[in-house]
């Protein structure tokens, strides 16, 4: 399975253009994990079998009790000559690396090159990315991604070598393969660190402190890829501007001091300071205070503003107010259409310091996410709880899921206590007998906030479906609701007072939807 002759790929650094970012993907029924991007020509299709194998390896690594990786088992055993070559000139090499875009203080450049070549020699080729007929003196070479290694560590393998070891894969790519350019995706950008393990003594660099980041390997989730595609990287495999990911990982794995939530005046409290100098508009702040007042009154509510008025920002401001001003430590659940989850994640991370986890993908991806992102290490469990299962407090502040994941993970999600549940595009809950609605109602939510710009799409009965989710005692019967409010928008507005914000559109729709 190994491919000899690989060398590190000269891939350009990924463009940091937010417009290129894609949302996370979920598996379809056709045997592939696909991007949700609607542009078919740009869609990258990854065989599910290969992804399943990668996810399985990550899961096995997480299940291992010992934190180290055996050199001979994972990366092969370097000979004495190779070790001497790597060590030759280390001091001068280390001094010349100040301009390298890596976290400093770890291995020398030569040591990293040797380790990479050793990994590539013993790793199985996962997929072919590109073919260049001009490389290897005109003999040609394939750019390949290796199993268990990131796209950053892709390497060129001579055509003749790969044709001998992976003949069918090579022929298939030459006849009908579509080149993959990781630098045009976000796959070269480290998104977050989800786990770490200590290196065995024989793999640690010399002269570093016991608690140095260079004594660990970090499991990196890459932007635009699933949890099953995460790879183990050493600190000096990361770029200097990614050092904050290690700090962020350590912060999110330190349990907070348990506190009790407090009541506060929704009309007069000072808004929390948001990141990146973000501020709310006046009408948005008014809506935020209205929603917070509903939370304080234990009253579920719906924000019915039209598209473009900033429902996402207002919702985030509500949750941040509850967390920072009200001292709420139980996590928040946000349910939204799959194609909008990436936007939600970016907005939450832009406005706040919340630990937000995007829980999507295949069953294997979600299992890895649970193992790495849900619970604190057992050795660091605090006395108080944060809504976890079986007494295990949860690490995340906000969990982002799609409506499809809600159905798949209903049992697990209903076992967690959430401070609040937010449902974007809440008209998806309007069906009185739908399984999605039943799954939403099975959740343990302290408060519900529904977001929709179209509470009524066809008829007034759809509005009852949403109101029944918010307050089943006040709106128990659709038949009685229709008898009472059909053609009576003023009466409907009065009855729903306190439940809606942005209800001018609701009144207008109700008047014409009876």
How far is it, in rounded angstroms, from Cα 88 to Cα 494? Answer: 82
Q: In the prediction, which pLDDT does 300 show?
A: 95
Q: Which residues contact 17 (CB under 8 A, 6 or more apart)?
A: none
- Structure tokens of 145? 């991604």
**Is 127 part of a structural domain of the chain?**
yes
Find tokens 């050795």 and name the residue.
379
Residues 192 and 283 in one domain: no
- Structure tokens of 113? 């090159």
Residues 387 and 332 in one domain: yes
Q: What is the CATH number of the domain that holds 376?
A: 3.40.50.10810
**Is 269 part of a structural domain of the chain?**
no
Q: In the prediction, which pLDDT does 464 show?
A: 84
**Is 332 part of a structural domain of the chain?**
yes
Residues 361 and 346 in one domain: yes
Choose among 465, 463, 342: nearest CA to 20.
342
Q: In the prediction, which pLDDT does 209 show?
A: 85
Residues 296 and 173 in one domain: no
Burial 9-45 (b: 16+ CB within 10 A, else e): bebeebeeeeeebbbbbbbeeeebbbbbeeeeeeebe
Instruction: Count structural domains, the chain.
Output: 3
How far is it, in rounded angstroms, from Cα 360 to Cα 369? Answer: 9
How far is it, in rounded angstroms, from Cα 465 to Cα 461? Answer: 6
For the segment 51-98, what is each residue's pLDDT rounded down to a tens digit?
A: 556 676 676 677 664 333 333 233 233 333 334 444 444 444 444 444
How many C-beta neighbours within 10 Å does residue 347 have?
18
Instruction: Please say whether the beta carbons of 302 and 499 come within 8 A.
Output: yes
**Is 270 part of a structural domain of the chain?**
no
**Is 257 part of a structural domain of the chain?**
no
Q: In the prediction, which pLDDT does 454 show?
A: 72
**Is 261 part of a structural domain of the chain?**
no
Residues 392 and 449 in one domain: yes
Confidence of residue 410 (pLDDT cuts 50, 70, 90): very high
Q: In the prediction, which pLDDT does 64 show?
A: 62
**Is 263 part of a structural domain of the chain?**
no
**Residue 389: is its pLDDT beyond 50?**
yes
Q: In the prediction, which pLDDT does 28 show?
A: 36
Which is more confident, 282 or 16? 282
Residues 476 and 498 in one domain: yes
Residues 388 and 463 in one domain: no
For the segment 439-449, what is each residue's pLDDT rounded down to a tens digit?
A: 999 999 999 99
Lowest-pLDDT choice from 44-53, 56-65, 189-198, 435-444: 44-53
Q: Which helix (H) or strand (E) holds 221?
A: strand 216-222
Residues 203 and 319 in one domain: no
How far is it, in rounded angstroms, from Cα 78 to Cα 304? Answer: 64
Residues 412 and 494 in one domain: no
Picking from 454, 474, 499, the residue at the C-terminal end of a domain is 454
For the segment 241-285, what is each residue's pLDDT rounded down to a tens digit?
A: 999 999 999 999 998 888 889 999 999 999 999 999 999 999 999
For the chain, the average pLDDT equals 79
Picking from 187, 219, 252, the residue at the C-terminal end of a domain is 252
Instruction: Please say whether the beta carbons of 145 and 154 come within 8 A.
Output: yes
Residues 408 and 477 in one domain: no
**Is 264 part of a structural domain of the chain?**
no
Beta partners for residue 424, in sequence order: 451
What does the longest C-alpha to C-alpha distance in the chain come to? 88
Residues 87 and 230 in one domain: yes
Containing structural domain, residue 495:
455-514
Residues 358 and 466 in one domain: no
Pick from 71-80, 355-364, 460-469 the range whose average pLDDT is largest: 355-364
Q: In the prediction, which pLDDT does 252 show?
A: 94
Pick from 22-31, 307-316, 361-370 the range whose average pLDDT is largest: 361-370
Q: In the prediction, which pLDDT does 135 show?
A: 95
CA separation (Å) from 314 to 67, 289, 302, 322, 403? 43, 10, 12, 13, 21
Picking from 408, 437, 454, the residue at the C-terminal end of a domain is 454
**Residue 46: is its pLDDT beyond 80?**
no
């Amino acid at each position: 399975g190994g491919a000899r002759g690989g060398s590190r790929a000269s891939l350009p650094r990924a463009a940091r253009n937010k417009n290129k970012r894609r949302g996370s993907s979920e598996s379809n029924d056709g045997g592939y994990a696909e991007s949700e991007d609607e542009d078919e020509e740009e869609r990258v299709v990854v065989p599910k079998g290969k992804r399943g194998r990668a996810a399985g390896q990550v899961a096995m690594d997480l299940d291992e009790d010992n934190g180290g990786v055996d050199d001979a088992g994972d990366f092969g055993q370097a000979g004495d000559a190779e070790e001497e070559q790597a060590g030759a000139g280390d001091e001068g090499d280390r001094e010349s690396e100040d301009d390298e875009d890596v976290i400093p203080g770890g291995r020398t450049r030569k040591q990293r090159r040797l380790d990479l070549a050793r990994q590539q020699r013993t790793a199985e080729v996962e997929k072919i990315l590109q073919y260049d007929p001009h490389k290897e003196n005109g003999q040609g070479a394939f750019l390949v991604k290796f199993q268990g290694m990131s796209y950053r560590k892709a390497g060129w393998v001579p055509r003749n070598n790969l044709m001998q070891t992976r003949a069918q894969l090579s022929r298939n790519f030459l006849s009908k393969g579509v080149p993959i350019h990781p630098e045009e995706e976000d796959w070269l950008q480290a998104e977050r660190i989800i786990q770490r393990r200590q290196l065995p003594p024989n793999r640690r660099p010399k002269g570093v402190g016991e608690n140095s980041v260079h004594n660990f390997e970090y499991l990196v989730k890459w932007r635009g890829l699933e949890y099953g595609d995460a790879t183990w990287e050493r600190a000096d495999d990361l770029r200097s501007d990614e050092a904050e990911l290690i700090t962020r990982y350590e912060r999110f794995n330190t349990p907070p001091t348990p506190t009790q939530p407090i009541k506060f005046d929704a009309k007069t409290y000072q808004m929390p300071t948001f990141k990146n100098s973000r501020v709310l508009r006046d009408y948005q702040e008014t809506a935020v205070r209205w929603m917070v007042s509903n939370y304080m009154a234990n009253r579920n509510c719906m924000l019915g503003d039209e598209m473009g008025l900033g429902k996402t920002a207002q919702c985030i401001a509500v949750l941040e107010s509850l967390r920072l001003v009200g001292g709420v430590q139980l996590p928040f659940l946000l349910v939204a259409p799959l194609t909008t989850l990436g936007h939600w994640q970016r907005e939450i991370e832009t406005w706040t310091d919340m630990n937000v986890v995007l829980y999507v993908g295949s069953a294997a991806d979600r299992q890895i996410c649970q193992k790495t992102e849900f619970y604190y290490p057992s050795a660091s469990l605090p006395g108080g709880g944060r809504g976890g299962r079986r007494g295990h407090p949860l690490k995340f502040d906000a969990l982002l899921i799609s409506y499809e994941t809600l159905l798949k993970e209903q049992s697990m999600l209903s076992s967690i206590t959430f401070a609040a549940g937010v449902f974007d595009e809440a008209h998806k809950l309007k069906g009185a007998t739908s399984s999605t609605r039943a799954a939403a109602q099975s959740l343990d939510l302290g408060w519900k906030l529904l977001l929709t710009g179209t509470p009524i799409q066809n008829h007034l009965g759809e509005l009852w479906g949403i109101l029944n989710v918010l307050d089943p005692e006040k709106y128990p019967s659709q038949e009685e609701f229709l008898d009472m409010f059909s053609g009576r928008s003023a009466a409907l507005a009065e009855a729903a007072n306190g439940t809606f914000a942005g209800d001018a559109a609701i009144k207008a729709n109700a008047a014409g939807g009876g």
